[in-house]
Amino acid sequence: MRLTKHTDFALRILVYSAMETGERLLSVQEVTDAFEVPRTHVMKIVQKLGQLGYLQTFRGKGGGFRLGMQPEDINLGEVVKVMESSITLVECEEIACRDCSSCQLKDIMNQAMDAFFKVLAQYSLADALDRKNGLLIQLQAG
């Protein structure tokens, strides 16, 4: 399974935000520069993460955002589920398939998807931060 770039950057923004200690607000421009991602993408992701409560956002001059929850309270499985609006591994309805009556591919793929989310649900953002230095280097390498 491959996550969309939208979800990938949402996770990166959460990790980046969690590594910022204290009350300093992060800016969209700072994240845009750090990950070399279009500003509009970062703005949309920050807005959605803010609406979901994962980030606190502040408007106006001197505004920005910071983590809205404790890292241990942010479940990675939940984040991926809400950021991936529609995950379908096999779209049988759109294909004229002669084997639909006996094909179990869709059920097998759904089981795989369930297993994927079950594993992700075991981890929080705090778990992803256990090796801060290595993770920061990986994030900056993109």
Joined tokens for residue 18: 């969690």
What is the percent of the chain where pLDDT is above 70? 77
Tell me how far apart the alpha carbons of residues 89 and 79 are, in angstroms, rounded to a whole number: 19
Q: Tell me, what's the pLDDT at 22?
A: 76
Mean pLDDT of 48-65: 94
Q: Kindly indicate the confidence band of residue 140, based on its pLDDT and cuts at 50, 70 and 90.
A: very low
Cβ 81 vs Cβ 43: under 8 Å: no
Task: Specify the higher pLDDT residue, 106 or 56.
Answer: 56
Q: Tell me, what's the pLDDT at 97?
A: 62
Partners of 66 in the β-ladder: 56
Check whether 94 has a pLDDT greater than 70: no
Check whether 37 has a pLDDT greater than 80: yes
C-beta neighbour count of 83 within 10 angstroms: 20
Structural domain harbouring 18: 5-141
What is the percent of the chain where pLDDT is above 90? 53
**Residues 97-137: tens digit of each pLDDT:** 666 655 677 788 888 888 988 999 999 999 888 655 444 44
Q: Which residue has the tokens 């969309």?
A: 4
Q: Tell me, what's the pLDDT at 91?
A: 61
Q: Tell me, what's the pLDDT at 40?
A: 95
Identify the CATH number of the domain in which residue 67 sits. Answer: 1.10.10.10
Mean pLDDT of 62-89: 88
Query: How many separate domains does the chain show?
Result: 1
Cβ 30 vs Cβ 63: under 8 Å: no
Closest CA to 30 of 45, 17, 48, 44: 17
The most confident of the ranges 63-77, 78-92, 104-118 is 63-77
